[in-house]
Amino acid sequence: MSYTNFKIETDADGIALVTWDMPDKSMNVFTEEVMKELDAIIDQTTADPAVKGVVITSGKSSFSGGADLSMIKSMFTFQAEERKKDPDNAARKLFDLVGRMTGLFRKLETSGKPWVSAINGTCMGGAFEMSLACHGRVASNAKSVKIALPEVKVGIFPGAGGTQRVPRLTNTQDALQMMTTGSSLTPARAKAMGLVHEVVDPDKLIEAAKAMIKNGLKPVQPWDEKGFKLPGGGIWTPASAQLWPAASGILRRETYGNYPGAIAILKCVYEGLQVPFDTALKIEQRYFTEILQTTEAFSMIRSLFVSMQELGKGARRPAGVPKTELKKVGVVGAGFMGASIAYVTAAGGIPVTLIDRDMEAAEKGKTHSEGLVKDAIGKGRLTKEEGEALLSRITPSADYGDLRDAGLVIEAVFEDRQVKKDVIEKVEAVIAEDAIFASNTSTLPITGLARNSKRPDRFIGIHFFSPVEKMMLTEVILGKETGDRALAAALDYVAAIRKTPIVVNDTRGFYVNRCVFRYIHEAYDMLIEGVPPAMIENAAKMAGMPVGPLSLNDEVAIDLSQKILKAAVADLGDKAVDLRHMALIDKMVDELDRRGRKNGKGFYEYPAKPARKYLWPGLKELYPQKDAGEIEVGVLKQRLLVTIALEAARTIEEGIVTDPREADVGSILGFGFAPYTGGTLSYIDGMGAKAFVELCEKLAADHGDHFRPTPLLKEMAEKGETFYGRFDPYGAGQKAA
């Protein structure tokens, strides 16, 4: 029998090698067709007396990333359709649907023939759950191998047997840690945990997998054998009596109860380990069905799985423009940002010329990359040879003539219009006619900068976030005259350096910074009102933000906040800012010299390591303090999230952001907006425009007019619309500009 996605070869020893190699895909993924074919392969190998055992491996550089986008989407489409057709039985039908993969993997492990998974490259999600159902697992020791059950990161959990097999193979504490964090395991760590049996050199992978079968691998899982005992002794032991309260407390501390999928993992494991395995799988199936019906799961999967992949694959790239093959990129400005941009460009395999005013400054910029490479080698992320190759692609220079053959030049010089004007003119004097010029400005509108260009259609913004090597987001900003070719080239470049782009139209602060500073400014309001600083920071974390607004302001620099406020006043007048905010920041910077982390003192104090930062005690002396017992923490949480979401809604209304996927993904990747919400617009859609407008009006009455809902939101509330419905990213007419 022949298959589309698998190839089967049976050797003289009766071992069937099943190679998973999907045509026209760079990585194997689970689809409806793949599951049907795997089902048929189990039947075929089980029925064939010549087959003594099965090795399943990948014909690609990676094993599999898990479920395909279409499968994930289909679950939510199925729910919506069934709720309309048969609401009383919709949950039962969903329960049956989500049990299909569980049943397939259970069929594999009870087939009576030994199966071995030979893992190369990435093996995540459902692919690792399938591997866990195999009786043996062998992993390559290559650096590229990553093993994980990362489902919690997109709002769900390992629902195809993962929550039951992992804690039956390793101790419960490690099992919970792996699944509730979604963290990747190296092959060595997976072997130490008992999740992988052998780790071998890549060229010995299939040989080792077949040897397991030849050496008498039992076709029965440990939990299916009589007398099976759980690693660590099970639930009702003194050790477990200590573990479970601690595990629940740690999860509450880390997530504040915002992630139903993470809580469900604890429930599945705790309940499942007390019953027979098949009953445990039903418990997992029940919780998985429940989690799939939550707003959090729907929103997180849409933004962090579906939309991120779509944007990363060029969803906003103009059609019909040939792909840009960049043979060389120029970066002007070898300071911290420019040097970091040069590093990620070289890491993406593109030669880069790093320009500064003199060779000493340019070489200092390359030294920054040398430090990053040394750190990456020390942590095992790069080999010495890979690090040397990366550095060889960075050429420091003080001669603008060296940019002559660059297809893209990015300026990352000081945030001053005149300085940037000089750079634009010097670069355009030497680059080819069809080369693209990009500005990494974070504050100056692109359209204004492009007035200094002789070809504004080839002028664009590519806004990186610090630290560049860690932040996965880039904002691609369109000036009024930016053309499709410049946009396509920018998106091709962002794809080459493996970052996620969002495309936004030109405005002061673009998208991310507008939202970030609304968050920070709400903290200013709270400080001025007398809310204790610790309550502000803790309420933000309880709301799901990774860091409090005062801590974030220290990171971006308080004097940068001052510059932005002053620039707004200079351009738009006093009414453009809250003068109380200006007074607070002027006092912090000009009187107290508290500029943030960069000078070791801001809203926080930064003592020498290993001591940890702490809130500056003098902060509470700036304004009369309220009694903490009189302040509603729930309202603080609402204010911090609503003010950001409201600003995101304004950018949609103003036409700055035109695709809701980008507003959501940009808010999460750019500054960590409460990921469980799915992002700023999903936060509004999740509660409904009507409820959001009512909440805004209440907050406006109590805390200021900046909470007033916009005309667009009021209209959406009246019509019962959502952002994803009104601004359908898959509908006709959605263009990049």
Q: What are the catalytic residues?
A: 463
CA distance 249 to 375: 34
CA distance 434 to 151: 44
CA distance 637 to 677: 13
What's the first-to-final CA gap in the chain, in angstroms? 50
């700023």: which residue's tokens? 680
Tokens of 193: 């945990």
Cβ distance 265 to 157 under 8 Å?
Answer: yes
Cβ distance 127 to 146 under 8 Å?
Answer: no
CA distance 181 to 490: 34
Cβ distance 728 to 720 under 8 Å?
Answer: no
CB neighbour list of residue 375: distance below 8 Å, 6 or more residues apart: none
- Candidates 248, 267, 270; CA nearest to 257 is 248
Angle at 235 between CA 229 and CA 241, to 5 degrees: 135
Structure letter (DSSP) for residue 621: G
Tokens of 74: 């289909």
Tokens of 628: 């903490």
Cβ distance 535 to 681 under 8 Å?
Answer: no
Angle at 287 between CA 284 and CA 293, to 5 degrees: 140
Within 557-605, residue ranges assigned H as helices are 558-572, 579-586
Cβ distance 640 to 710 under 8 Å?
Answer: no
CA distance 154 to 94: 19
Structural element, H or E, at residue 396: strand 394-397
Q: What residues are paired with 115 via a beta bridge?
A: 54
Structural element, H or E, at residue 57: strand 53-58
Cβ distance 542 to 631 under 8 Å?
Answer: no
CB neighbour list of residue 384: distance below 8 Å, 6 or more residues apart: 377
For residue 314, give the 3-state DSSP assignment: coil
- Candidates 662, 453, 623; CA nearest to 531 is 623
């302001």: which residue's tokens? 553
734 phi-psi bin (left φ>0, alpha ψ -120 to 50, beta other): beta
Structural element, H or E, at residue 115: strand 115-119
Cβ distance 27 to 65 under 8 Å?
Answer: yes
């679950």: which residue's tokens? 75
CA distance 208 to 196: 13
Q: Considering all CA atoms of the chain, what is the largest pairwise distance in Å, rounded to the nearest integer? A: 85
- Candidates 730, 736, 731, 735; CA nearest to 306 is 730
For residue 445, give the 3-state DSSP assignment: coil
CB neighbour list of residue 269: distance below 8 Å, 6 or more residues apart: 163, 164, 167, 172, 175, 176, 179
DSSP assignment string, 459-517: EEEEEE-SSTTT--EEEEEE-TT--HHHHHHHHHHHHHTT-EEEEEE--TTTTHHHHHH
